[in-house]
Amino acid sequence: MALLELKEISKEYSGKKVLDTVSLKIQSGDMKVVMGPSGCGKTTLLRCLLRLEEPDYGDIYFHGRNIYDKEFTILEFRKKVGCVFQNYALYRHLNVMDNITLALCKVFGMPGQLAGRKPYMSYKNLIWSRIARNTLRNYRAGSNSASPWPVQWSPTQNSLFLMSRRLRLIRS
């Protein structure tokens, strides 16, 4: 059984077919890349996969269970599956630590102290971990070159923090 299976996913917007019977199987340990020109349906496919939008036709299965069934627990699914979109969902009024632990506190009701106990551990899982660790080491050491506010970080650093937030949810 596939970890994740998309069967004939179709989606239209204003009569324009964006997804046309897309099927895909992902086994545990697989790495897949969704590529294509602007407007070809990459984001729509991911939004359907994350249950942010419902496809017009087709089914998506996670461990053999249809994610659109009423009995399916979306919170458990989102603890295990996620993505980081190109447009950051970082809140300018929150510091980096609060941005990383936001979903744990707000969605899953975890106390802030528990959510923030070891938020940097997930960076060890990232390819870019050296950049993230150095950046965070400077921030924790009080370096003037590092800021706790996302608005002052580079796009790469912001992506790392979003990955950390995503990995933090998965590991919790």
Domain coordinates of the chain in residue numbers? 4-80, 96-171
pTM over 0.75: no
- Report domain 4-80's class: alpha beta
Strands (E), 47-142: 57-62, 65-66
pLDDT per position as a tens digit, 147-163: 556 666 676 776 776 66
Summarised one tens digit per residue, pLDDT across range 8-23 is 999 999 999 999 999 9
Residues 70-119 pLDDT 10s: 888 887 787 777 666 666 666 777 776 676 677 667 666 766 666 555 44
Residues ≥6 apart with Cβ < 8 Å to 61:
2, 4, 5, 6, 7, 67
